[in-house]
Chain A
Amino acid sequence: MKIAKLAGLIALLAVAAAFPQVFPNPAVTTIAIFTLLYATATVAWNIFSGYTGYIALGHAAFFGIGSYAIALMCAGWHVPGGYLPFFLVPVAGLITAAFAVPMGWISLRTRRHTFVVITIAIFFIMQPMAFNLRSITNGSTGLSLPIPSGWGLKFNFPFYYVALAMLIVAQIVSWWIRNSKYGLGLLAIRDDEDRALGLGVKTGPAKLAAFVISAFFVGMVGALHAYFQESIFPAFAFDPLFDIALALMGFLGGLGTLAGPILGALILEPTQRYFTMQFSANGYYLIIYGALFLAIILLLPEGIVPTLSKYWMKWDALRSSSMPKAGNELNSPAEAIQDVPAQNEERVEL
């Protein structure tokens, strides 16, 4: 089982690495890059919202901060186009994380619906700032980034591989956290925060750390996106649809699961780009987005991954119950008590 999983993972990585070589068409690789960026952002969003159960709808603020951070760094230090700006992407991530500390500290004083509203509010504070802090952001004229020259037809390739690397790192971090004691604390917070606190989980720092980690990756996504687009404008850097997209992809794939966010992004982002290309940018895809959101909430409230694994477990249980040995796993509570041997008292050391 473990070997099969590992082999599958390596095959998946090989496919991802070979993809632009097989489909070098810039239209296709552009969609692939956006998909990788959204997958990374959704994985990062899931580290916070999926694990702790706090639905954040303001991560577009981090996307925007990351975008502006890299644009300002490139402009300020006269960074030429090429490979150098890629190294500024993690720096932009760190800057975003620094912004996320006070934002998280304020918004995490609230819970549930109030928290959602506060994160939206923080986003709507950031967007007008990008418009109006003209001396820094250049207002609605936006900022332009250096353009790499000489990459020719393979212009998209470096972006593709950097985005892929980011997704892999984000997914490893997500997997690591999920399997750590810290991650167990986050999942406990999701189920019953006060109870977790009463069992020694430091809920405040744990939530804030998850919030900042997720902001770091979303900031990097914003930075790479900005460099790929070569210019940024307030309305696109701080785009409320980005928030909806992350939540939609997370919910579709399965909130709090490892594979769910990637699956959600892999399904939704290419679909959306395809519709945008087919019907030009007239916003038809927004109608489809809305309809999809409704369909997911109604038909797959838990998302694809948990629903499938539930069916799998049911099928597995059915298969094993038709075999002779099983069947006595679930005793009634009364039986359960009679099952307890009296000598347990001696066996447990306390």
Chain B
Amino acid sequence: MSMLEVLGVSKSFGGIQALDACSVDVEKGSVTGLIGPNGSGKTTLFNVITGYESADHGEIRFEGKSIVHAAPDAIFRLGVARTFQLTRIFPRLTVIENMHVAAQREGFRALFDRWSSPREQRRALDLLDFVGISHLKDLPAGNLSYGQKKLLEFAYILIADPQVILLDEPAGGVNPTMINHLADRIRALNKSGVTFLVVEHNMEFVMGLCQRIMVMHRGAKIADGSPEQVRKNPAVLEAYLGV
């Protein structure tokens, strides 16, 4: 069953058609890869799904419910979380404070609750342990290395228990040891029921991680299938090599 469905979504910026009647879907409980050359519309697709950009046409459904006009905070509360290609953490808050931002409260309770409950504190520490940066918890997040920031961004969305996580180039600019570490964490989370959609240029990483890969080119999906199928697909080779 499809958990996340994007149906014929178009988005243009001035004269540039970033998404051209693009349709993709993500199966519940899967780790799905999304690849494509630079400028093929992958990040725009993420932005449209998570409410940061509004689609010109088309429909987006999460668990059968339309989210095409919803705001980013509402979409996040439904259980769709994402990371950014250029990692975005809160640099002046400490690592542990970053962890508590995503655990928001409804309405006026936000005014009467402290930054975190004891339960949330334990859970935040567990999650920092899970990604391997709990020893840095009291540092300002801006002092972390690039790879550590990626791990922090990954950890702090987990605190809200998202059902589907969209990762935008999680392995970009990260050293090989950390890439393997990240892949392990994604598999562990997937085993416990979290669905993933991963944009990545590192083919080894994507091919090793995903059961299914979709390929985008010029704002639309041009191929879809298992890693082997996609690798042999002539349209994909053409898009990447320009032959």
Which residues of A are in contact with B by a Cβ distance under 8 Å? 177, 179-185, 187-188, 190-192, 194-203, 329-331, 333-334, 336-340, 344-345, 347-350
Give Cα distance in the complex from A336 to B71, angstroms. Answer: 37
Asked if residues B177 and A195 are in contact (CB atoms below 8 Å), the reply is: no
Residues on the B chain within 8 Å of A334, using CB: 175, 177
Which of B126-134, B204-212, B234-242 contacts its partner? B126-134
**Quick one: closest B residue to A328, CB to CB?**
B135
Asked if residues A192 and B88 are in contact (CB atoms below 8 Å), the reply is: yes
Asked if residues A347 and B52 are in contact (CB atoms below 8 Å), the reply is: no
Give Cα distance in the complex from A180 to B81, angstroms. Answer: 24
Asked if residues A337 and B178 are in contact (CB atoms below 8 Å), the reply is: yes
What 4 pairs between A and B have smallest CB-CB spacing? A340-B132, A191-B90, A182-B110, A350-B192
Please classify the interface of chain A as helix (H, G, I), strand (E, B), loop, or mixed, using the class held by over half of its residues: helix
Asked if residues A199 and B104 are in contact (CB atoms below 8 Å), the reply is: yes
Beyond the given pairs A179-B114, A195-B84, A337-B178, 20 more chain A to chain B contacts, judged by CB atoms under 8 angstroms and listed by A's residue number, are: A181-B105, A184-B97, A184-B101, A185-B110, A188-B90, A188-B101, A191-B90, A192-B89, A198-B50, A199-B160, A200-B102, A201-B101, A330-B135, A337-B177, A340-B129, A340-B181, A345-B184, A347-B129, A349-B192, A350-B189
A191 in complex: contacting residue of B51, B91, B113, B175, CB < 8 Å: B91
Asked if residues B73 and A331 are in contact (CB atoms below 8 Å), the reply is: no
Query: With an 8 A cutoff between CB atoms, is B156 at the interface?
Result: yes
In the assembled complex, 29 residue pairs joining A and B whose CB atoms fall closer than 8 Å, in A order, are A180-B110, A180-B111, A180-B113, A181-B109, A181-B111, A182-B105, A184-B115, A185-B101, A187-B92, A188-B90, A188-B93, A195-B88, A195-B89, A196-B101, A198-B50, A198-B73, A198-B82, A199-B101, A200-B77, A200-B104, A330-B135, A333-B148, A333-B175, A334-B175, A336-B133, A336-B135, A345-B184, A348-B129, A348-B130
Asked if residues B129 and A350 are in contact (CB atoms below 8 Å), the reply is: no
Query: With an 8 A cutoff between CB atoms, is B203 at the interface?
Result: no
Question: Distance in Å from the Cβ of A321 to the closest Cβ of chain B?
Answer: 15
Query: With an 8 A cutoff between CB atoms, is B147 at the interface?
Result: yes
Residues on the A chain within 8 Å of B58, using CB: none
Residues A348 and B93 in contact in the complex (CB < 8 Å), given A179-B115, A340-B132: no
**Quick one: closest A residue to B101, CB to CB?**
A188
Question: Distance in Å from the Cβ of B182 to the closest Cβ of chain A?
Answer: 10
Question: Distance in Å from the Cβ of A340 to the closest Cβ of chain B?
Answer: 4
Query: With an 8 A cutoff between CB atoms, is B194 at the interface?
Result: yes
Q: Which B33-90 residues have C-beta < 8 A from chain A?
A: 50-52, 71-73, 76-77, 81-82, 84, 88-90
B76 in complex: contacting residue of A183, A198, A348, CB < 8 Å: A198
Contact mask for chain B residues 115-150; partner A; CB cutoff 8 A; 1 contact, 0 none: 110000000001101101101100000000101100
Interface bracket on B: 35 or more
Query: With an 8 A cutoff between CB atoms, is B197 at the interface?
Result: no
Asked if residues B157 and A344 are in contact (CB atoms below 8 Å), the reply is: no
Asked if residues B135 and A331 are in contact (CB atoms below 8 Å), the reply is: yes
Query: With an 8 A cutoff between CB atoms, is B158 at the interface?
Result: yes
Asked if residues A348 and B126 are in contact (CB atoms below 8 Å), the reply is: yes
Asked if residues A190 and B101 are in contact (CB atoms below 8 Å), the reply is: no
A200 in complex: contacting residue of B111, B130, B160, CB < 8 Å: B160
Query: With an 8 A cutoff between CB atoms, is B173 at the interface?
Result: no
Give Cα distance in the complex from A347 to B131, angstroms. Answer: 12
B104 in complex: contacting residue of A201, A333, A336, CB < 8 Å: A201
Give Cα distance in the complex from A340 to B181, angstroms. Answer: 9
Give Cα distance in the complex from A337 to B150, angstroms. Answer: 13
Asked if residues A180 and B112 are in contact (CB atoms below 8 Å), the reply is: yes
Query: With an 8 A cutoff between CB atoms, is B161 at the interface?
Result: yes
Asked if residues B127 and A333 are in contact (CB atoms below 8 Å), the reply is: no
Question: Distance in Å from the Cβ of B46 to the closest Cβ of chain A?
Answer: 11
Question: Distance in Å from the Cβ of A338 to the closest Cβ of chain B?
Answer: 8
**Quick one: closest B residue to A332, CB to CB?**
B145
Residues on the B chain within 8 Å of A192, using CB: 88-90
Residues A203 and B73 in contact in the complex (CB < 8 Å), given A337-B181, A350-B189: yes
**Quick one: closest A residue to B76, CB to CB?**
A200
Give Cα distance in the complex from A338 to B37, angstroms. Answer: 34
B100 in complex: contacting residue of A184, A330, A339, CB < 8 Å: A184
Give Cα distance in the complex from A197 to B91, angstroms. Answer: 16
Question: Distance in Å from the Cβ of B69 to the closest Cβ of chain A?
Answer: 15
Residues A350 and B158 in contact in the complex (CB < 8 Å), given A182-B111, A200-B73, A336-B135: yes
Residues A190 and B92 in contact in the complex (CB < 8 Å), given A181-B105, A337-B177: yes
Residues A350 and B90 in contact in the complex (CB < 8 Å), given A180-B114, A200-B76: no
Question: Distance in Å from the Cβ of B158 to the closest Cβ of chain A?
Answer: 7
Interface centre among B91, B97, B130, B194 (most CB of A within 10 A): B130
Residues on the B chain within 8 Å of A194, using CB: 52, 72, 88
B115 in complex: contacting residue of A181, A197, A331, A348, CB < 8 Å: A181
Residues on the B chain within 8 Å of A195, using CB: 84, 88-90
Residues on the A chain within 8 Å of B189, using CB: 350
**Quick one: closest A residue to B184, CB to CB?**
A345
Give Cα distance in the complex from A185 to B115, angstroms. Answer: 9
Question: Distance in Å from the Cβ of A345 to the closest Cβ of chain B?
Answer: 4
Residues A344 and B130 in contact in the complex (CB < 8 Å), given A180-B113, A195-B88: yes
**Quick one: closest A residue to B147, CB to CB?**
A333
Give Cα distance in the complex from A194 to B76, angstroms. Answer: 12
**Quick one: closest B residue to A178, CB to CB?**
B115
**Quick one: closest A residue to B130, CB to CB?**
A348
Give Cα distance in the complex from A197 to B104, angstroms. Answer: 11
Residues A202 and B115 in contact in the complex (CB < 8 Å), given A190-B92, A350-B192: no
